[in-house]
Amino acid sequence: MVFVTFVVYLTRMTLLCAGEAFEDLIFVGLDRIPGPGEEVKTDRFEATVGGGAVITAVAAARLGMKVDLLSALGPSAVKRLRKERVRITNLIRPGEQHAITAAISTTEDRAFVTFNGVNAKLEERLAKAIPKADATHVHLCFYPHDCGLWTRIVTRLRNKGITTSWDFGWNEPLTSDRGLTDLIDALDFVFVNELEARLYAGEPTLEAALPHWRARKAITIVKQGESGAMWLAPDRDIHFPAPRVKVVDTTGAGDSFNAGFLVAWLRGNTPVECLTAGNKAGAASTQRAGGI
């Protein structure tokens, strides 16, 4: 009877991913990123859908999780995501333009140019929709312009029994928001890469930044690319290496890691197993062009 109840609970679990979406134009296999006035050519190109919320949602759905996506999407993105069995709440309105990103990718680095479109209006709509969420876990991936507002929203979700995580990405203006620490402390998990860990801690090196993250109430997951990932909490640090793969394009690897990690965590796996699952999903995503 206990086993049956546990299986039913797993099938009812839902991961809600909320954040920006982009139609991605990805130029792959460049020898280098072009400088001002330069042109670099490639024979490899991919047009797809991207954005942190989208990539995490798709990767989690492929891992068997029931996934909802809250974003603003163009028609081709909606069509593609329905094939991936992602349930969509589309916040775009008639006449609005979806966002577009051009990604320039080498095997070691990447650069982006973005038309923001409807994403400039998205945060306000997310703030109204997310408190109504019917999910087991809410994963957010966008720049919060008002950390105090989002701390209150995350706290309301916690009071409803909903766990939360956030991947802020690289957003330098966020460092001047005094409410950032309170927002992080209201979460269950915060995902950062090495550069972001240093940025938000205000430290020149990852080693110097670690005490800041260990002091947080949220568990911090530091993504280190080919070096693996770290679990940082007040009571313990865990590091687990990543598998070695032949890299084609790193676009979306961090968001795929988030999916692998969260699916494992929602299924009750240990910290090491969660890091392993995240590393595996992130590494797999680099073996083809595009985040999904």
What percentage of the chain reaches a pLDDT higher than 70? Answer: 93
- Greatest pairwise CA separation for the chain in angstroms: 68
Q: Which two tokens stand for residue 4?
A: 């049956």
Q: Which two tokens stand for residue 277?
A: 């699952």
Short-list 282, 251, 290, CA closest to 48: 290
Domain boundaries, the chain: 13-22+50-96+117-285
Q: Which two tokens stand for residue 6?
A: 């546990």
pLDDT in tens, 134-166: 999 999 999 999 999 999 999 999 999 999 999
Distance CA(99)–CA(79), nearest Å, equals 16
* Highest averaged pLDDT of the listed ranges 6-10, 199-203, 279-283: 199-203
Say yes or no to pLDDT of 7 above 70: no
Distance CA(141)–CA(164), nearest Å, equals 11
Q: What is the pLDDT of residue 241?
A: 81
Residue 38: burial class (beta carbons within 10 Å; 0-12, 13-18, 19+): exposed
Span 190-199, average pLDDT: 96
Q: Rounded mean pLDDT of the chain? A: 90
Specify the CATH number of the domain 13-22+50-96+117-285.
3.40.1190.20
Asked which of 1-15, 78-92, 110-124, 148-162 is least confident by mean pLDDT, the reply is 1-15
- The band of 287, judged by pLDDT with boundaries at 50, 70 and 90, is confident
Distance CA(154)–CA(6), nearest Å, equals 26
Distance CA(292)–CA(239), nearest Å, equals 26
